[in-house]
Structure 1
Amino acid sequence: MKLSIISGSHRKDSYSLKASTYLQNLAQMEGFNDINIVDLSTYGIPLWNEGVRNNQQEWDVWKSLSADMKLADAAILVTPEWHGMATPALKNFLMLCTADELGHKPVLICSVSASINGVYPISELRMSGSKNNHACFIPDHLIFRNCESLILSEGKVSDAQFDHRAKYTVRSLSAYANALASVRKSLHKQMQDFPFGM
């Protein structure tokens, strides 16, 4: 199965990217054999505008990412909590995605916080992040709290209980990816008739 992990921080070498590497390691143990980490700090995707639908050259980088996302069976979104919100880069990514990239695919939401917070981006993304792209956010999520001490440099975490929970959560993402494959196949043609959420 193919998995796309979206690291939503604008910062280079961010804790979101380190969390993504940790999740990549877990996903490899759960049946995902093709895993792509997309570090949005390096992509330079323009902010959404109508040009994305008109094949303008500035959108070539998005076209490449879009083509890769269409092949994914599942996705993980990783965002730092900035001012209690998900990052502009991650929100822009979700605005650009259609049902072709994320429709009826399971998505795990993860947030990263330097303190004990981190719940606000989860709530924000659950409220509006799937409206027009039809992503299926799975019930569980992960919050990397106190990330500077939790996330170790070698793609591991320092908290055994968090690690145990994260392994279960990634296993559930894999189970949803298998289960929703037939849903996507069944609804693929009709999704084109109803591209927008109500």
Structure 2
Amino acid sequence: MKLTIISGSQRADSKSLTVARYLEKKAKPLFEQTVVHDLYELNLPFWNEGVWNDTEEWGPWRKIAEELKSSDAFIFITPEWHGMATPALKNFLMLATANELAHKPALIVSVSASLNGVYPVSELRMTGSKNNHVCFLPDHLIFRDVGSLFDNELNCSNPSIDERSQYTLALLAAYAVALAPVHRDMVNAGKPYHYGM
């Protein structure tokens, strides 16, 4: 199975990327292949109609979209900025279609420098799957006080967060196995209902 992790921060060397590397390390026994995409590095253009018309600016996105099709599960990581998910991650979820994400499981992860982190989880649950039909797990992870949470080897200083992360990644892997036939059988069947009711 293949896991794709999206670090949704628009900052270089972000704490979201640190969390992505930590979760990648924890997920390796559960997934044969893991890929981390840093949205700061990708620097994708913001959504516009050109993405439908295959204009030149969308060449980099087409390569990523093709790769996403082979993923069995996803982790979407966002810092909490002003109580919201980042524009880069929201843009990514607007660009992704049912071809890449529909009926595949995704884990929402929020990163906070202090004690919050709840609002981006609620925001992504409300709108993040509208047209791409990704299946968010009922569980999520919030990494609070992230500045003091990891050492240089990506060991977590909070045992309960470490244990919860391991459980949640195992849950994600179980959902990936269970949902694989749903994606296979329903992604094309659902195309007439792409926008919901």
Matched, 1:38 2:37: yes
Q: Deviations over 1:2-37 (max 9, x none)?
A: 11100000011100000000000111122x111110
The residue aligned with 2:55 is 56
Q: Deviations over 1:99-126 (max 9, x none)?
A: 0111000000000000000000000000
CA–CA distance in 2 between the matches of 1:69 and 1:19? 20
The residue aligned with 2:151 is 152
Alignment gaps of 5+ in structure 2: none
CA–CA distance in 1 between the matches of 2:144 and 2:48? 34
The residue correspondences of 1:30-179 to structure 2 (distance < 5 A) are 30=30, 32-179=31-178
Structure 1 contact 15–151 (Cα < 8 Å) conserved: no
Q: Deviations over 1:159-197 (max 9, x none)?
A: 111100110000000000000011112213212222223
Runs of 4+ displaced beyond 2 Å: none
Matched, 1:14 2:5: no
Q: Deviations over 1:73-107 (max 9, x none)?
A: 00000000000000000000000111011100000
CA–CA distance in 2 between the matches of 1:23 and 1:40? 16
Structure 2 contact 5–76 (Cα < 8 Å) conserved: yes
Structure 1 contact 76–109 (Cα < 8 Å) conserved: yes
Instruction: Kindly report the root-mean-square deviation, in angstroms, between the aligned alpha carbons of the 2 structures.
Output: 0.8
Structure 1 contact 134–197 (Cα < 8 Å) conserved: no
Structure 2 contact 47–95 (Cα < 8 Å) conserved: yes
Secondary structure (helix, strand or coil) at the match of 1:83 reads coil
CA–CA distance in 1 between the matches of 2:59 and 2:42? 11
Secondary structure (helix, strand or coil) at the match of 1:117 reads coil
Q: TM-score, normalised by structure 2?
A: 0.98
Secondary structure (helix, strand or coil) at the match of 1:86 reads coil
CA–CA distance in 1 between the matches of 2:80 and 2:151? 19
CA–CA distance in 1 between the matches of 2:60 and 2:152? 29
Q: TM-score, normalised by structure 1?
A: 0.97
| TM-fit CA distance, 1:156 | 2.1
CA–CA distance in 2 between the matches of 1:103 and 1:141? 19
**Structure 1: which amino acid aligns with 2:93?**
L
| TM-fit CA distance, 1:153 | 2.6
Secondary structure (helix, strand or coil) at the match of 2:120 reads helix
CA–CA distance in 2 between the matches of 1:72 and 1:141? 19
**Structure 2: which amino acid aligns with 1:24?**
E
